[in-house]
Structure 1
Amino acid sequence: MKYFQVKHTLFLSLILLTLSSCGGGSGSSTSTGEEPIQDQISTSGFILTQIRERQIADDPIERIYEPRGIGGGGAMSGFSISPYSSLWFVGTDMGTLFRSVDRGVTWHGINHNETTYSSDLDSAAGVGFSADPEVVFHAPAGRTPVRSEDAGVHWTKISSFALASGEKIKYWRAHSYDANYMYAGTTSGLWQSRDNGLSWAKLSGVSGDSRGTYIDYHQTGHIIYHATANGIYKSVDQGSSFTRVHAPSAGLTIRAFTAGRDLDKITFAYIDNNGKGACSEVQPFASDWGVTSMNAHYDHCGYVWLGNEAMSFRQTTQQAGDHIKMAENNSKVIFVTGSTAWIRQYGTKVWRSTDSGATWNLKLNQINYDVTPFAAWGQDKMEYSAAALDIGWDDSGYESFDVHLRSPASVGGTGYYFLHSSKNGGDFWNAPFTKYADTGARAKAKKWKSTGLEVTSVYRFKFHPTNPQIGYAAMADMGGMVTEDGGKSFRISKVGYNSNYDYAFDPDDDRVVYAVSGSQHDFPMEWHANAANGDEGGVYKSTNRGLNWTRLTPTNGTFNRQFLSIGYDNGSNAIYAGLHGTGIARSLDGGATWSLFNTGLPGGVKIIPQIEVDPDNGGVYALLAGDAPTFSNSSSTGIYYLAPGAASWTLLRGTVTRPSGVTAGLWYYPTSFAVDFSSGSSRNTLYLTDYENNSNWLATGVWKSTDRGATWTRQLQYTHPLTVTLDQVDPSNVYVNGLHSVDGSWGNGGLYYSTNGGSTWGKNTIPPYQSNARSATIDPNDRSKLFYTFFGSAMLYGPRPQ
């Protein structure tokens, strides 16, 4: 394989301007608590230096494969704004950390071989930024911290960061004027580095779950304020010792803490745990939501408290959920959000104060459940997206929320579908995960382009056989996407259930498309491989390129089931559809009537993940997977063929040659196949992939037959392959894609290809998504390019590896 090797550069400049100082105050405060409260001393001479952000250049490697899709539509967290450069980061529960070098205009996933993001969003932390803009920090799932010296392109494990068992990093905090100092708040304390994050030590004097850290820049040395549940602690010796300077009132705890200083004063702020008081307005809904939901709402709610230089605090009437944020150099602007645990989607609210908490204004209410019909925040104050307009605003709150540490004008937060950010302090919110590509007002069925923040799953991407501008992407959650410009822009086209799994076309009419749908996503991963007889679904038809769909299968118990595959023979007007458990449904009259057609297939569970129709003669090929979870039909799995006019399916499986050293069972769970349909072919060349799913270690992979299934030989050991794609113009080109662990803990996988019919294989390591590939589709408009589809990363478009 010829890898694309491009040396990237970063344009870096840092300018420190105009030193100034301001006077501090003096005073004391008393409060009940377990520990005595230190009397405050007068301080003055604080550094309020301005910092000019560095513009980070993009990495040329990131431009080789372009993201394609509609953007968003999945759970995101860890939204992080660099205060020292143009970098933004955000993660997704699908395992990818995304990077933007232009403040959210465009995004690129970080290569999975470098670092990933945690699917456990409760333990997922944002990215940390050093005052040296090239140096950034990350800790997937709060563990195994890593450090980058090239603005997030490459990452190295920080071996000196010896977290205790169960301890997790919650956030990072930099010293804005001395890159040597970095801090990390964890679930059990505060860590410090004095060499720009190369080595770390846990500070004594503070312990317990970190709730926020603030750095006060005194000219004689910085002061640290650190909050835990039981108080705010202060260090005047750069972390060598701490003294508690404020304790919350009896019975209360601190849930989140922040602060900001400017020429006028310093403001401290935190959220308490008095949820039943602060969120009492939800009590009328208790009978609708139940005790568990109500308690979760109260546990994630409290009042905002405000404090001054003397550490004298007062409770306000403002409620807050999980996040309270300020810029470190601004004492007036404070943001608070709701919580993902709040009922009625109240968690999508953001409030702002511009007068140090004296008054508050609601600056975002993503969806208002208190009006009928439900109403989204207006388009005069927020950008709409395909995920919102075509799917819905079902986003319960903010998994992450960040305010630019040096400028409260820049702010943003993520939820389960959306990232919304503002560059004017919350007066208007952008949707940086998508780009409108249509005319007129944003509305349903409009066209969109990707900015790179793709967090959806695309199972397959198919082009119409006679109009290569028309293509359909089968998706989880979103349902599906349609392109009418060869894959440059897309619109959402959801049949009706969670997932569109497959499409088939009428080659004589590019307006007609058939689709199968189901209510369960993510087949065949984990338990989704099991038979799904209880899940709803059906076969659908559209005569206007997916703008509207008509259900073809009945809604009775036989056919209201999840379907995984479909094929259409336009010569006989016959439709074949594969079910996720009961075999093959067939209609011989274009979908008017249906019956199960399993003659020749074994009894019991019959999962059919793929069906293909020979474009020349109408012969039908169908794949029978394993009857998970029993795996009792392994001798009968494989490709079945229905000859034109035949009354029974025939299994194209003779001898499956056991690979050397393999003792486990073979073909427990086939996932895909390919037939050489190229012009003039004999149809004797077949490929099949099977998926390790029954302790059959090292027994799975890519198989090939050149005698129409009489004998099969494994061409490549591959642990979890999902699709094999054959170039039907030049069948020597083969592409196999699937899942694997990039840390080497299990299996072989990734984006494999062969240019000699499977005799030898290369691996494309350039695309960032190395662990979650689903399929490959050669671009019929430019055969030098292809589309890769991914679980949780939508699609990438770029050069075919060779």
Structure 2
Amino acid sequence: MTYGPAGSNTVYAGVNDRSTSLYRSTDGGSSWQAVSGQPTGQMPQHGVVSGDGSLYLSYSNDIGPNDATAGSVWKYTPSGGAWKNISPSQGSYGFSGLAVDPQKPSTVMVTTLDRWWPQDEVYRTTDGGTTWKALADKSQRDASAAPYIGTGIGHWMTAPAIDPFDSGHVLYGTGNGIWRSKDANASDSGGTSHWTAGARGLEETSLADAIAPPGGATVITSMGDQGGFRHDSLTEVPAGRLKNPLMSSSTDIDFAQSAPAVMVRVGTGGAQDGAYSTDGGSTWNGFTAEPVPSANSGHVALAADGFTIVWAEAGQAPYRSTDKGASWSKVSGLGTDAVVVADRSSANTFYALTNGTLHASTDGGATFTPRATSLPSGRLTAVPGIAGDLWIAGGGNGLLHSTDGGRTFTTLTTVKSASALGFGKAAPGANYQALYPIGTVNDVTGVFRSTDKGATWLRVNDDAHQWGAIGSLGIITGDPDTYGRLYIGTNGRSLQYGDLS
């Protein structure tokens, strides 16, 4: 949707209809008519009315961000009803992002959509679309503020913006963040424009897991799109993603509680779908074999001593390896997609909560047998350093606690609901891990901390810091070395952290 000149009551709206996709209202939206003579077969992505009254539109045959295979750019002159195709190029891709310089109504920028080869492009015209210049090869890019995005022009570019007070100041969004230039108009005279990463530390990613190993890296993540990062500092952007393999998405990560430099992660999109590290995540080695060669991703657990790996690939039953992923054997006693959790003290003990039954293994994950039944579904976690100490975040059933390896559970009366639970360094003078649930306490939903095993709770976020669907993701962990520090995974806002105020 875009608006006509000030005071005109004109509004344009694009709709998802390839036959009639553009409508206009001249009475502020009370009534609408299809704009005559409009292009068909595609749909408008963006539209901007320039200072001279012209309407510029980018079109694609799919709403995106993927699957666009055709597109065009048009200029519409409302005074005479004339349409003109001003597309800067043609091919099996669409056009999406569009911006008009408020100071110079004939200066327009557009972006391609899904032009995967050789790359997407940003075009710029200063004569209303009669001629265009491509900026990719006439720009220099500095990604030092976010090295992991590389120096390519980007993809999924749908939101360019030209500063109304500075024609050279331009920003546009990509699937990896934001590029920013202070001299984007240098190309108008044949020069080179310069671009920097304009959103340092911000990344539109969805977390899959986060671990905070004691005495090592501050936190290490697994996530969609970027795979994951090792964060040695919370105030500096990591130099690069976890690699060897460089996964496009990682679905789970774990470390050995008694040997925290040993880690495993799993996912998809790399040369291998799983890997291990023996130096705290600085370097990795891909598994040389997989449980089911046609599968990937899923959930992984690592024994407290780092010897046994249990991996349930998506859609598969769990398998175990005792040789760093060189060979695998199927686990007995668990079904498809069982999520296995390692005891954080006893190296041979693993657990799994499936269909209301707590299963346990005391032979290194080879066989699992039931220990407790009639339990709620939820997320099972094990307390660091204490054998057999388990918690279930049971959704509407609140928090359940076991101190006997899952044979019996006690429900906490102080918590009405809980979608996830994390652990962190004990408070000064306390001898039990600080508890951090996402849930509802005293009819207030939020993130809480308890330093007395759940007898009392303190909310540690507020209504202005809820970060979207954190409960559905259920990714939360305290810091083992810094009391009060907390990490929360989000669905689209990457990893958040907080310290005691």
Q: Same fold (TM over 0.5)?
A: yes
Structure 1 residue 499: Cα displacement: 1.2
Contact 1:337 1:347 in 2 (8 A): no
Which residues in structure 2 correspond to 1:99-138 (within 5 Å)? none
Matched, 1:690 2:389: no
Contact 2:389 2:404 in 1 (8 A): yes
Please, what TM-score do these two structures have when normalized by structure 1? 0.49
Q: Which residue, 58, 72, 84 being the options, matches 1:301?
A: 72
Contact 1:732 1:755 in 2 (8 A): yes
Query: What's the secondary structure of 2:263's corresponding residue?
Result: strand
RCO comparison, higher one (Cα < 8 Å, 6+)? 1
Task: Give me the whole-angstrom Cα distance separating, in 1, the residues matched to 2:383 and 2:131.
Answer: 68
Aligned-residue Cα RMSD (Å) equals 4.6
Q: Which residue, 691, 697, 702 being the options, matches 2:399?
A: 702
Q: What is the match of residue 611 of structure 1?
A: 342
Structure 1 residue 794: Cα displacement: 1.5
Q: Unpaired runs of 5+ in structure 1?
A: 1-169, 193-201, 209-227, 231-246, 277-291, 366-376, 435-449, 521-534, 626-632, 657-665, 692-697, 741-746
Task: Give me the whole-angstrom Cα distance separating, in 2, the residues matched to 1:618 and 1:317.
Answer: 67
Task: Give me the whole-angstrom Cα distance separating, in 2, the residues matched to 1:471 and 1:748.
Answer: 29
Q: Which residue, 35, 53, 58 being the options, matches 1:229?
A: 35
Q: What is the match of residue 484 of structure 2?
A: 784
Q: Which residue, 380, 385, 403 being the options, matches 1:677?
A: 385
Task: Give me the whole-angstrom Cα distance separating, in 1, the residues matched to 2:383 and 2:65.
Answer: 52
Q: Which residue, 335, 355, 366 being the options, matches 2:108?
A: 335
Structure 1 residue 589: Cα displacement: 4.3
The one-letter code matched in structure 2 to 1:515 is: V
Task: Give me the whole-angstrom Cα distance separating, in 2, the residues matched to 1:732 and 1:250.
Answer: 63
1:215-242 Cα deviation digits (max 9, x unpaired)? xxxxxxxxxxxxx633xxxxxxxxxxxx
- Compared with structure 1, are the counterparts of its residues 649 and 318 closer, same or farther at alpha carbon in structure 2 (3 Å cutoff)? closer
The one-letter code matched in structure 2 to 1:772 is: I
1:47-77 Cα deviation digits (max 9, x unpaired)? xxxxxxxxxxxxxxxxxxxxxxxxxxxxxxx
Matched, 1:575 2:309: yes
- Compared with structure 1, are the counterparts of its residues 294 and 486 closer, same or farther at alpha carbon in structure 2 (3 Å cutoff)? closer
Task: Give me the whole-angstrom Cα distance separating, in 2, the residues matched to 1:754 and 1:295.
Answer: 48
Q: What is the match of residue 401 of structure 1?
A: 160
1:424-465 Cα deviation digits (max 9, x unpaired)? 23522332122xxxxxxxxxxxxxxx1xx2321223322333
Q: What is the match of residue 653 of structure 1?
A: 372
Which residues in structure 2 correspond to 1:437-516 (within 5 Å)? 450=201, 453-465=202-214, 467-469=215-217, 471-485=219-233, 488-490=236-238, 491-494=240-243, 495-497=245-247, 498-505=249-256, 510=261, 513-516=262-265
- Compared with structure 1, are the counterparts of its residues 484 and 345 closer, same or farther at alpha carbon in structure 2 (3 Å cutoff)? same
- Compared with structure 1, are the counterparts of its residues 787 and 248 closer, same or farther at alpha carbon in structure 2 (3 Å cutoff)? closer
Query: What's the secondary structure of 2:475's corresponding residue?
Result: strand
Contact 2:477 2:486 in 1 (8 A): yes
Q: What is the match of residue 297 of structure 2?
A: 562
- Compared with structure 1, are the counterparts of its residues 541 and 207 closer, same or farther at alpha carbon in structure 2 (3 Å cutoff)? same
Query: What's the secondary structure of 1:791's corresponding residue?
Result: coil
Contact 2:424 2:477 in 1 (8 A): no
The one-letter code matched in structure 2 to 1:754 is: S
Structure 1 residue 294: Cα displacement: 13
Task: Give me the whole-angstrom Cα distance separating, in 1, the residues matched to 2:5 and 2:76.
Answer: 25
Structure 1 residue 564: Cα displacement: 0.8
Structure 1 residue 481: Cα displacement: 0.6
Task: Give me the whole-angstrom Cα distance separating, in 2, the residues matched to 1:518 and 1:382.
Answer: 29
Q: What is the match of residue 32 of structure 1?
A: none
Q: What is the match of residue 434 of structure 2?
A: 733
Structure 1 residue 207: Cα displacement: 1.6
Q: What is the match of residue 344 of structure 1?
A: 116
- Compared with structure 1, are the counterparts of its residues 383 and 710 closer, same or farther at alpha carbon in structure 2 (3 Å cutoff)? closer
Structure 1 residue 677: Cα displacement: 2.7
Structure 1 residue 676: Cα displacement: 6.0
Structure 1 residue 611: Cα displacement: 2.5
1:273-324 Cα deviation digits (max 9, x unpaired)? 7x99xxxxxxxxxxxxxxx9999533x31454679xx869684754373344
The one-letter code matched in structure 1 to 2:402 is: S
Structure 1 residue 595: Cα displacement: 1.8
Task: Give me the whole-angstrom Cα distance separating, in 2, the residues matched to 1:642 and 1:253.
Answer: 60
The one-letter code matched in structure 2 to 1:428 is: H
Please, what TM-score do these two structures have when normalized by structure 2? 0.74
Contact 2:99 2:110 in 1 (8 A): no
Q: What is the match of residue 359 of structure 1?
A: 131
Task: Give me the whole-angstrom Cα distance separating, in 2, the residues matched to 1:552 and 1:303.
Answer: 52
Q: Unpaired runs of 5+ in structure 2?
A: 15-22, 90-94, 186-192
Structure 1 residue 501: Cα displacement: 0.6
Q: What is the match of residue 370 of structure 1?
A: none
The one-letter code matched in structure 2 to 1:335 is: V
Which residues in structure 2 correspond to 1:584-603 (within 5 Å)? 584-598=318-332, 601-602=333-334
Query: What's the secondary structure of 2:487's corresponding residue?
Result: strand
- Compared with structure 1, are the counterparts of its residues 568 and 354 closer, same or farther at alpha carbon in structure 2 (3 Å cutoff)? same
Matched, 1:319 2:88: yes
Query: What's the secondary structure of 1:344's corresponding residue?
Result: coil
1:399-430 Cα deviation digits (max 9, x unpaired)? 22332344432322223333223232352233
Matched-pair identity in %: 16
Task: Give me the whole-angstrom Cα distance separating, in 2, the residues matched to 1:203 and 1:545.
Answer: 59
Q: Which residue, 540, 546, 551 being the options, matches 2:286?
A: 551
Contact 1:173 1:182 in 2 (8 A): yes
Query: What's the secondary structure of 2:149's corresponding residue?
Result: helix
Structure 1 residue 752: Cα displacement: 3.3
Task: Give me the whole-angstrom Cα distance separating, in 2, the residues matched to 1:412 and 1:378.
Answer: 16
Q: Which residue, 152, 163, 172 being the options, matches 1:413?
A: 172
Structure 1 residue 723: Cα displacement: 4.0
1:512-543 Cα deviation digits (max 9, x unpaired)? x43231339xxxxxxxxxxxxxx997542235
The one-letter code matched in structure 1 to 2:434 is: N
Structure 1 residue 382: Cα displacement: 5.5
Task: Give me the whole-angstrom Cα distance separating, in 2, the residues matched to 1:455 and 1:295.
Answer: 20
The one-letter code matched in structure 1 to 2:320 is: R
Contact 1:255 1:270 in 2 (8 A): no
Tell me the number of residue pairs that the alignment of Structure 1 and Structure 2 aligns: 464
Task: Give me the whole-angstrom Cα distance separating, in 2, the residues matched to 1:203 and 1:344.
Answer: 38
Task: Give me the whole-angstrom Cα distance separating, in 2, the residues matched to 1:731 and 1:714.
Answer: 18
Contact 1:536 1:560 in 2 (8 A): no
The one-letter code matched in structure 2 to 1:624 is: L
Contact 1:258 1:326 in 2 (8 A): yes
Contact 1:750 1:772 in 2 (8 A): no
The one-letter code matched in structure 2 to 1:463 is: A
Structure 1 residue 479: Cα displacement: 1.3
Q: Which residue, 190, 198, 208 being the options, matches 1:432?
A: 198
Instruction: State which structure, 1 or 2, has the greater radius of gyration over its C-alpha atoms.
Output: 1
Contact 1:474 1:480 in 2 (8 A): yes
Query: What's the secondary structure of 1:541's corresponding residue?
Result: strand
- Compared with structure 1, are the counterparts of its residues 182 and 479 closer, same or farther at alpha carbon in structure 2 (3 Å cutoff)? farther
Contact 2:302 2:342 in 1 (8 A): yes
